[in-house]
Amino acid sequence: MRAYLTYRFGTSAIVMVGVSLVTYGMIFLTPGNPARVILSERLGRPPSQAEIEAFEAEHGLNDPFLVQYGRWLADVLRGDLGTSYYADTQVSAMIVDALPVTIELAVASTIVALAIAVPTGVISAVHRGTKVDVVCQVGSLIGVAMPNFWLAYLLILAFPLTLGILPVAGAGRPSQLVLPAVTLGTGMAAVLTRLIRASMLEVLDEAYVDTARSKGLRGRIVRYKHALRNALVPVLTIIGLQFGSLLNGAVVVEVVFQRPGLGTLLVDAVFNRDYPVIQGIALITAGVFVVTNLLVDLGYRYLDPRVSLGGETA
């Protein structure tokens, strides 16, 4: 365990540095002058050249790329994500305020996705080739093809505007989480349903499932206790990756439902050319992916004790 965790932490550190370098490079090459954009907003008028040069000198924007990146990386290693150009606030404080809202949405969306995908995938596999199977597959195909923002607006039209139930925007109350979670969770459920169906079909043909049936066990026990547990081993990888992807999907959904999470913070930072905030969010998002993948690998061992931490099956 210690050797495996050491290896994973080492590779994770390389991934984080790579992500930060690529992101910083893309930001550096992005057209537009943050000094001009931010000062115009602050002053209410176009800034003078002297004001622009003073802003750039204060924030080190005139330095070469490697100098700027090296200075930022050194600060990150000390736990400092920098200061927002626009809000003049510590980036870490801004992320700490926004991250719980996004994590709450990602967790709720995952719960919604699993609540839909697990029974639907199992039912589709058990009734393969029937009308029930066709309906489940068509429904999952529609869910995959449907854009998040379009579903979000449909839900807003249906529930708050037509039926007068559930709030449209905001965060903090459970009712304000329902529509965003359903919006994100539906797309994830569509992907998981197809994967669970395929995995269940493979497991249901295994000899140990036939043995369990021959012992007279009830069909539900065979499906959910014996077959489903092993079918979830390959599915766990997709669940982990999808959970990380929910952070990206939250950008659109949080803007539509006006939730003050990382997505909204990122969009505002892009429009304001607030580079430290953009880089900080990119780093945190990459960190969530890395941690999620590690937890997925550890989850393999729980679902199937034959799987070693190195990924091989005993």
Whole-number pLDDT of residue 302: 64
- Interatomic CA distance for residues 278 and 289, integer angstroms: 17
pLDDT digits (tens, 9 = 90+) for 137-175: 898 888 888 888 889 999 999 999 898 888 988 888 889
Per-residue model confidence (pLDDT) at position 16: 87
pLDDT of residue 311: 47
pLDDT recorded at residue 249:
67
pTM of the model: 0.79
For the chain, list residues with pLDDT below 70. 1, 207-210, 212-213, 216-220, 224-226, 244-245, 247-249, 299-314
pLDDT in tens, 91-123: 999 999 998 898 899 889 989 998 999 889 888
- Residue 174 has phi, psi (to 5 degrees) of -55, -35
| Domain segments of the chain as ranges | 2-91, 97-303
- Give pLDDT, residue 251: 80
- pLDDT for res 112: 92
Please state which architecture CATH assigns to domain 97-303: Orthogonal Bundle (1.10)
Q: What is the pLDDT of residue 92?
A: 92
Which pLDDT score is estimated for 95?
92
* pLDDT at res. 239: 75
Question: What separation, in Å, do the N-terminal and C-terminal C-alpha atoms of the chain show?
Answer: 16
Cα-based distances in Å from 230 to 58, 73, 85, 192, 289: 58, 43, 50, 15, 24
Mention every residue, 6+ apart, whose C-beta is less than 8 A from residue 272: 34, 37, 38, 41, 85, 86
Rounded Cα gap, residues 275 and 34, in angstroms: 8
Position 313 scores a pLDDT of 47
Q: d(Cα 127, Cα 211) in Å, to the nearest integer?
A: 20
pLDDT value of residue 303: 58
